[in-house]
C-alpha cells in the first residue's frame, strides 16, 4: 500500500504544479478578457488582434463597428478585440 502511495505522489504533485502555474492563470486571463470585451462602449479606442486601431462607433451583443477614419467602418466580433482604451 505504501509503495503505491509513493508511486502516485509525484503525479499528484505534478498536477498541482500545473494547475497553479498554468491552468489557473490562464483561466484568470480568459475572465479578464471577457470582462473587458463586455465593457466596451461607443467612443472607446480599441486594438484588434490583427493590430488595427480605431474607435468604436456601434456596439451590439456580439459584434462592434469600428471607425478607422476616412469613412472606413468595419464590423468585428467582440472576442477579437485585444485591447480597449477608454
Residue 9, domain CATH: 2.30.30.100
What local confidence, expressed as pLDDT, does residue 1 receive?
80
CB 75 within 8 A of CB 46: no
The three three-digit cell numbers of residue 37, written as one number: 470585451
Provide the domain limits for residue 45: 2-85
**Between the CA of residue 71 and those of 38, 47, 66, what are the distances in Å?**
26, 18, 11
Q: What is the pTM of this model?
A: 0.77
Output the pLDDT for position 5: 87
Structural domain total, the chain = 1
pLDDT score recorded for residue 2: 84
Q: What is the enclosing helix (H) or strand (E) of 55?
A: strand 53-59
Per-residue confidence of the chain (86 residues) as pLDDT tens digits? 888 888 999 999 999 999 999 999 999 999 999 999 999 999 999 999 999 999 999 999 999 999 999 999 999 999 999 999 97
Amino acid at each position: 500500500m505504501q509503495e503505491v502511495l509513493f508511486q502516485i505522489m509525484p503525479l499528484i504533485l505534478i498536477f498541482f504544479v500545473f494547475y497553479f502555474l498554468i491552468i489557473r492563470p490562464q483561466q484568470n486571463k480568459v475572465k479578464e478578457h471577457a470582462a473587458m470585451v463586455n465593457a466596451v462602449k461607443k467612443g472607446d479606442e480599441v486594438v484588434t488582434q490583427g493590430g488595427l486601431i480605431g474607435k468604436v462607433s456601434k456596439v451590439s451583443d456580439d459584434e462592434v463597428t469600428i471607425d478607422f477614419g476616412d469613412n472606413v467602418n468595419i464590423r468585428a466580433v467582440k472576442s477579437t478585440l485585444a485591447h480597449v482604451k477608454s
